[in-house]
């Protein structure tokens, strides 16, 4: 009876029950979300406090131009101002002290340099923008009015053309699929990064786990009960399963978030474009800001759903899982062989360098393949087994012909199985060798040792 | 019939030959010592018997038939370099290793209860290995070795790391298992325990068998014809038949160390000769210890090797 299931069971359960695994699985998505949203949230926080900006107009031309915003409260006075005056006021160290003074010394249309901002602390760029943009908008209107052309404002607005291009991919069966280049690239990139991360993370776990068994000396007891190859395969499989479990949990999280987001914009769920247009027409007449915003949000949501629909999700997921498993077996075998050959962490460096190099190369090849998914780089790198899992994932959303997919998969699985066999030969010798760090030459000799 | 035979084993590593035509035949239900200095090839031989590595030449027979993969279930192996999963709980660890040896979970549980009870450590199942003292870890390791009630037990330096009390406990267990019918192979540097426990030995040095046979017989073969004689009256002088190489005055009489010159002379004749001169109070032949034989044999073969080079 094979003992592999028993090994897998133990290795899997001990890993999944570890506190670190549970924490990582739950916290990672939260940390990811936090990393994205925390800066946005934090930047909004500063808006709680309104700052006083004193506008001192020496010309009297610019009354009522500045409107209060969430962050800034403007006061307007007509008169003169000297820096000394501000210094005197500054010493009072009062809450009501203006954050900045805006001094207008002349007609800004004639002299754009006639405005100065004084402050005791360096003002933020945000503040500067708030001050200048309101004035610029006003000056622009003034300038346009000075041309004395009726309706010029409307004409200018109409001349702002926003091009919206639909990209449609013609399928082999003649069907038209609406696509989005950005969406396709994003999906490809995300998948590539996920595969890259998992290869490094879980491959590394295989290596350290093999090394731990070796340095613990438990391995000799183990191999007196099971074949070294069984032990290695059991370990690689169980760690791979742990990876898939984690991925599965994250996908469930993601789907959950997506669904609850969908429920939030519940109107857009399941609405087809024609209905959408009707609604836009209906609300368009009213033209209030709220409905406009709503329709645009609904439209974006709709678009995302439609674009997602344009990609063959089933094919994508199946390919993802298959390439993930193939690539994982390939790299995990290498990592297992390295882990078996060395006695301690520092000795792994020499062997890790080439592997890291290859994986990073694959990642870059993937990123550049997104620019040109049918170019020679993409083509070759999606056939070479060490890069294909990463590069192929970029290409698949763009559409890859079936024969390429199958060929790439066959090469990947062929070499993964071959490498697992070679790694097994190195592993069974390596785990019992202590002391000197072996050279590549010695490791190749090990492959030829009689089992 | 022998329980285990390893015939003409050759194992070649890249640059050196770990075993060169080594033959070891282990009788059933005995304790067999595998001796040799470090690096002689003992561990390689043990690994071959455990099917951890395969020999380049030669064959291993168990009960007269070639070794097969399922035989690991009848072998219990305690390696010299021991280890357990440090983060695992004692109970889980024992059950896991026992199941890998082919026991069902239920049988493994029963066996575990028996052994934990025997070593008086019931209730330790929930402790993690890393929380235990080294001696305790050794006990657990020993239990994992014998859990599946193997017919063949292989101990590589079993006493290292045990305090004298636990070493004694271990010795008792080994003897008890022998009495229950197990065959035991025992690799050690501790020659006192070899004399005490082993029925037969093989001494391997530099990949070759240099000495093999029953312990009692080997000691006879290596005897130096030395005798410890205590006399109450009279004195002994060296003569053609024996020489006195040591002398010590006792409260009453003398103690001599003699060497027979004529090795064909029987001990009875020697006693006869002595009684003609003195009153014997004690007579004992000094047999070499295994330690002396070990050093002598290993030293000799080292010398030969030097001359050959």
Return the pLDDT at A173: 63
Residue written as token pair 């020697």: B270
pLDDT in tens, A420-431: 999 999 998 899
Q: Please name each of the domains of chain A with its CATH number.
A: 49-157 (3.40.190.10), 181-256+311-448 (no CATH)
Higher pLDDT, A272 or A404: A404
Q: Express each pLDDT in A36-55 by its tens digit.
A: 778 777 776 655 567 888 88
**Could B83 and A220 be called an inter-chain contact, meaning their C-beta atoms sit closer than 8 Å?**
yes
pLDDT of res. A256: 83
**In this structure, are residues A227 and B69 in contact, taking their beta carbons and an 8 Å threshold?**
yes
Q: What is the mean pLDDT of chain A?
A: 80
- Indicate if the pLDDT at residue B58 is higher than 60: yes
The percentage of residues in chain B with a pLDDT greater than 70, rounded to a whole number, is: 99
List Cβ neighbours of A329 (8 Å cut-off, separation of 6 or more).
A236, A240, A413, A416, A417, A419, A420
Closest Cβ opposite residue B83 in set A217, A434, A451: A217
For residue B255, what is the enclosing H or E element? Answer: strand B254-260
- Give the single-character DSSP code of B122: T
Q: A65-88 in b/e burial notation, b at 16+ Cβ within 10 A?
A: bbeeeebbebeeeeeebeeeebee
Residues in chain A, overall count: 451
Question: Is residue A442 scored above 80 in pLDDT?
Answer: yes
Tokens of A5: 């299931």
What DSSP state is assigned to residue A60? S
Looking at the predicted structure, is the pLDDT value of residue A165 above 80? no
Residue to substitute from A225, A230, A431, interface B, most B β-carbons within 10 A: A225
The residue-averaged pLDDT of A307-328 equals 80
Task: Taking residues B186-201, report their average pLDDT.
Answer: 88
What string of DSSP letters covers A245-311? Answer: HHHHHHHHHHHHHHHHHHHHTGGGTT--HHHHHHHHHHHHHH--HHHHHHHHHHHHHHHHHHHHHHS
What's the mean pLDDT in B2-7? 92
Res. A284: pLDDT tops 50: no
**H or E segment to which residue B27 belongs:** strand B17-27
Q: Higher-confidence residue: A73 or A83?
A: A73
Q: What local confidence, expressed as pLDDT, does residue A299 receive?
A: 62
Q: Which helix (H) or strand (E) holds A196?
A: helix A181-216
Long-range Cβ contact pairs of A94-99 (< 8 A, separation 24 or more): A96/A52, A97/A52, A98/A52, A98/A53, A98/A54, A99/A51, A99/A52, A99/A53, A99/A72, A99/A123, A99/A127
For residue A267 the two structure tokens come to 């109107």
Domain residue ranges of chain B, discontinuous segments joined by +: 2-215, 224-286
Considering only CB atoms, B54 lies closest to which of A221, A223, A451, namely A451
Give pLDDT tens digits for B125-171.
899 999 998 888 888 999 999 999 999 999 998 888 778 888 888 88
Model confidence pLDDT, tens digit, residues B221-260: 888 888 988 888 778 888 888 888 888 888 888 888 888 8
Confidence of residue A400 (pLDDT cuts 50, 70, 90): confident
Cβ–Cβ below 8 Å for A216 and B84: yes
> Which residue in the set A7, A10, A224 is minimally distant from B52, CB to CB?
A224
Residue B106 — very low, low, confident or very high, per pLDDT cuts 50/70/90? very high
For the stretch B64-96, pLDDT in tens is 899 988 898 999 999 988 889 988 999 999 999
Tell me which range, A323-327, A396-400, A434-438, is most confidently predicted by mean pLDDT. Answer: A323-327
3-state secondary structure of B238: coil
Residues in Cβ contact with A277 at an 8 Å cutoff, skipping those fewer than 6 apart? none
Q: Name the pLDDT band for A268 (thresholds 50, 70, 90).
A: very low
CB distance B72–A224 less than 8 Å? yes
The tens digit of pLDDT for each residue in A359-396 reads 889 888 888 888 888 888 888 999 999 999 988 888 88
| Contacts A–B by Cβ distance under 8 A | 65
The DSSP symbol for B72 reads G
Which member of B56, B97, B102 has the closest CB to residue A221? B97
* Residue contact A217–B88, C-beta within 8 A: no
Give me the pLDDT at residue A266, please: 57
Measured CA to CA, the distance from residue A193 to residue A397 in angstroms comes to 14
A432 reaches B (C-beta below 8 A)? yes
What ipTM does this complex have? 0.84
In chain A, residues with a C-beta closer than 8 Å to the C-beta of B55 are 450
Predicted confidence band of residue A200 (pLDDT cuts 50, 70, 90): confident
Q: Other C-beta atoms within 10 Å of A301: how many?
A: 18
Q: Say if residue A404's pLDDT is above 50.
A: yes
8-state DSSP, A347:
G
- CB contacts of A229 in chain B (<8 Å) are none
Q: Which one of A209, A213, A221 makes the best mutation probe of the B interface by having the most chain B beta carbons within 10 Å?
A: A221
Percent of chain A with pLDDT over 90: 18
pLDDT band of A113, cuts 50, 70, 90: confident
Given an 8 Å threshold on Cβ–Cβ distance, is B81 in contact with A217? Answer: yes
Confidence of residue A301 (pLDDT cuts 50, 70, 90): low
In what helix (H) or strand (E) does residue A52 lie, and over which residues does it extend?
strand A51-57
Residues of B with CB under 8 A from a CB of A: 13-14, 47, 50-56, 69, 72, 75, 77, 79, 81-88, 92, 96-97, 99-102, 141, 144
Enter the CATH code of domain B2-215: 3.40.50.300
Do the beta carbons of residue A385 and residue A244 sit within 8 Å?
Answer: no
* Percent of chain A residues topping a pLDDT of 70: 82
Partners of A10 on chain B (C-beta within 8 Å) are 92, 96
């Amino acid at each position: 009876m094979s003992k592999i299931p028993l090994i897998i069971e133990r290795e899997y359960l001990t890993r999944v029950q570890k506190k670190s695994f549970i924490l990582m699985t739950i916290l990672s998505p939260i940390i990811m979300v936090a990393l994205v949203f925390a800066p946005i949230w934090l930047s909004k926080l500063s808006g709680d406090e309104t700052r006083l900006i004193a506008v001192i107009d020496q010309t009297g031309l610019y009354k009522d131009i500045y409107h209060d915003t969430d962050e800034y409260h403007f006061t307007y006075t007509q008169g003169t101002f000297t820096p000394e005056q501000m210094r005197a006021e500054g010493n009072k160290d009062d809450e009501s002290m203006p954050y900045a003074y805006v001094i207008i010394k002349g007609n800004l249309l004639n002299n754009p340099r006639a405005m100065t901002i004084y402050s005791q602390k360096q003002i933020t760029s945000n503040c500067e923008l708030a001050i200048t943009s309101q004035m610029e908008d006003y000056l622009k209107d003034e300038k346009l009015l000075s041309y004395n052309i009726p309706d010029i404002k409307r004409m200018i607005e109409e001349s702002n053309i926003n091009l919206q291009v639909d990209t449609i991919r013609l399928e082999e069966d003649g069907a038209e699929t609406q696509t989005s280049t950005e969406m396709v690239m994003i999906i490809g990139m995300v998948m590539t990064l996920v595969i890259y991360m998992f290869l490094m993370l879980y491959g590394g776990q295989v290596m350290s786990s093999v090394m731990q068994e070796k340095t613990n000396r438990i391995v000799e007891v183990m191999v007196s009960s099971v074949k070294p190859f069984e032990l290695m395969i059991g370990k690689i499989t169980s760690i791979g399963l742990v990876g898939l479990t984690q991925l599965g949990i994250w996908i469930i999280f993601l789907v959950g978030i997506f669904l609850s987001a969908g429920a939030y914009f519940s109107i857009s769920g399941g609405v087809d474009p024609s209905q959408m247009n009707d609604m836009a027409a209906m609300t368009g007449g009213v033209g209030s800001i709220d409905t406009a915003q709503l329709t645009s949000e609904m439209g974006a949501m709709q678009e995302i759903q439609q674009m997602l629909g344009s990609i063959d999700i089933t094919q994508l997921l199946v390919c993802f899982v298959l390439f993930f498993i193939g690539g994982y077996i390939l790299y995990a075998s290498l990592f297992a062989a390295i882990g078996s050959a060395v006695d301690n962490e520092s000795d792994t460096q020499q062997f890790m360098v080439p592997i890291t190099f290859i994986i990073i190369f694959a990642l870059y090849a993937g990123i550049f393949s997104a620019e040109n998914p049918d170019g020679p780089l993409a083509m070759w790198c999606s056939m070479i087994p060490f890069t294909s899992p990463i590069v192929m994932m970029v290409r698949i959303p763009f559409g890859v012909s079936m024969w390429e997919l199958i060929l790439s998969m066959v090469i990947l699985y062929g070499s993964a199985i071959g490498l697992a066999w070679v790694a097994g030969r190195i592993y069974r010798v390596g785990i019992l060798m202590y002391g000197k760090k072996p050279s590549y030459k010695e490791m190749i000799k090990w492959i030829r040792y009689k089992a | 019939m022998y329980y285990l035979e390893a015939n003409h084993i050759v194992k070649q590593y890249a640059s050196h030959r770990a075993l060169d035509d080594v033959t070891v035949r282990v009788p059933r239900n005995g304790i067999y010592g595998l001796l040799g200095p470090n690096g002689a090839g003992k561990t390689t031989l043990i690994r071959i018997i455990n099917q951890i590595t395969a020999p380049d030449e030669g064959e291993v027979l168990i009960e007269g038939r070639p070794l097969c993969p399922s035989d690991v279930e009848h072998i219990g192996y305690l390696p010299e370099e021991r280890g357990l999963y440090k983060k695992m709980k004692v109970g889980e660890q024992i059950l896991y290793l026992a199941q890998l040896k082919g026991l069902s979970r239920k049988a493994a549980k029963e066996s575990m209860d028996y052994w934990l009870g025997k070593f008086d450590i019931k209730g330790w199942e929930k402790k993690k290995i890393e929380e235990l003292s080294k001696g305790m870890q050794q006990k657990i390791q020993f239990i994992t070795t014998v859990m599946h009630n193997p017919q063949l037990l292989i101990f590589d330096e079993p006493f290292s790391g045990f305090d004298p009390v636990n070493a004694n406990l271990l010795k008792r267990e080994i003897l008890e298992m022998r009495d229950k019918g197990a065959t035991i192979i025992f690799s050690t540097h501790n020659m006192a325990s070899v004399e005490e426990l082993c029925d037969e030995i093989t001494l391997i040095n530099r990949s070759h068998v240099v000495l093999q046979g029953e312990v009692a017989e080997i000691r006879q073969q290596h005897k130096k014809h030395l005798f410890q004689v205590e006399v109450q009256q009279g004195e002994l002088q060296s003569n053609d038949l024996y020489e006195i190489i040591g002398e010590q005055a006792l409260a009453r009489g003398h103690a001599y160390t003699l060497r027979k010159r004529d090795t064909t002379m029987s001990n009875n004749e020697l006693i006869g000769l002595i009684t003609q001169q003195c009153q014997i109070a004690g007579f004992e032949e000094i047999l070499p210890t295994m330690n002396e034989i070990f050093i002598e044999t290993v030293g000799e073969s080292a010398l030969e090797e030097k001359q050959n080079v």
